[in-house]
Amino acid sequence: MGMVLVFAACRDATVSGTSPAASPRGSLSGSDTSLTGSDGSHAKSPHSHAESPHSHAGMVWVAGGEFRMGDTDGEGGSDERPAHTVNVRGFWMDRTEVTNKEFAAFVKATGYITTAEKAPDWEEMKKQLPPGTPKPAPELMVPASLVFTPPDHAVDLHDASQWWGWVKGADWRHPEGPKSSIEGKDDYPVVQVSWYDARAYARWAGKRLPTEAEWEHAARGGLKDDPYPWGRTAVTDCGPKANTWQGEFPHRNTRWDGYNGLAPVAAFAANGYGLFDMAGNVWEWCEDWYDADYYARVSDGVSDRVSHGASGGVTPGTSGGLNSGVVVIDPHGPARSYDPAEPTVPKKVVRGGSFLCNAVYCKGYRVSSRMKSSPDTGLENTGFRCVADE
Ligand SMILES: [Ca+2]
Ligand SMILES: [Ca+2]
């Protein structure tokens, strides 16, 4: 009886907590990420496509098909609405976030230098800033990246600068700053990588970054309209489901899930497709530009990628409303970015939440939760995984 009750409670647990915090002011936006940093230039690799593995080792095949993309649990922000029916082709996807060991092999083979290892370029930065913004002090124009630097007391959760520090010498080999290292952390996700860095790795590996639709389809793991990769149970019910934050953010972490910061990849159960950490641990870069209004446009049939019922329509009872019968085929995101919180800063989509997410502050681990970062940003809680076509 006890077992049955526990099982029932786990299966039926309702989602608690509030929606992600509203966008903070200034150059910080969204929830736990997104401070514009470093230069906007595209880092160049001395070799291209050289000595890459070009195999599907470590990947799983994610069958294509239709799914409801967006806010299917009623907890989403306006940028997740309306939920709409999407059809994607099948693809291979890395089982785990790209690890330090894998990224190191890429750097060794190519001599690649990441965005965070180069000083910001003021001419590039200016393009993302409101006209008349003064040039930052010289001590800030150095190779640096964003490190989680928690205060010892409660702070205004609308001001992410309270817990993100621009740390000189922080990069993928020194994720928490120059005195930190990745020694003994081969199986941890690589972090402090910009979108440019992630794309360079993917190209070298003969892969690519997932579209936002592919990412969400994969994260859902074959479940229908559930809020999490594992179903409907809250992240902290019935044992840890993912590396997130427990306690009060950002000053008190109870480490109930076993990890204060990053966890090695695949430390928690995989989803139905055999994919690990689609919720939590690190945010994952996607190929697409972020536009807060994109879902509304594709659902209205404005996008030229929309097909009206071309793939056999929508399962009765799941869509309804204005976009019934509209199937968006293999969307690749908008042509350009638009984040109303920072209109001058083009941003790429990141997905899945990180070790800094919790129910009160940021439920980025919901399968449909959308976040964004400028492509030159490196963060201690942001990495990526790759996909490949047949
Ligand atoms: Ca944790
Ligand atoms: Ca993740």
Tens-place pLDDT, residues 224-260: 999 999 999 999 899 999 999 999 999 999 999 999 9
Q: What pLDDT was estimated at residue 138?
A: 93
| Span from the CA of 229 to the centroid of ligand 1 (angstroms) | 17
User: Ligand 1: distance of its center to the CA of 222 in Å?
Assistant: 26
Separation of 27 CA from ligand 2 center, angstroms? Answer: 24
**334 alpha carbon – ligand 1 mean position (Å):** 33
Mind listing the pLDDT tens digit for each residue in 206-220?
Answer: 999 999 999 999 999
pLDDT attached to residue 54: 74
The confidence score (pLDDT) of residue 317 equals 35
Residue 52: its pLDDT value, please? Answer: 52
Query: What is the pTM for the complete model shown?
Result: 0.85
Tell me which of 3.90.1580.10, 3.20.20.80, 3.40.50.720, 3.40.50.300 is the CATH number of domain 1-26+59-390: 3.90.1580.10
Residue 2: its pLDDT value, please?
A: 34
The pLDDT value recorded for residue 312 is 35
- What tokens were used for 120? 């910001």
Q: 324 is written with which tokens? A: 């019934």
**Residues of the chain under the 70 pLDDT cut:** 1-53, 301-324
What is the Å distance from ligand 2's center to 244 Cα? 10
The number of the ligand nearest the C-alpha atom of 357 reads: 1
- Kindly give the pairing relationship between strand 382-383 and strand 283-289: parallel
Round to whole Å and give the CA distance between 73 and 296: 17
Distance between Cα 363 and ligand 2 center (Å):
13
- 74 CA to middle of ligand 2, Å? 22
Q: Name the closest ligand to CA 277.
A: 2
Query: Cα(150) to centroid of ligand 1, in Å?
Result: 14
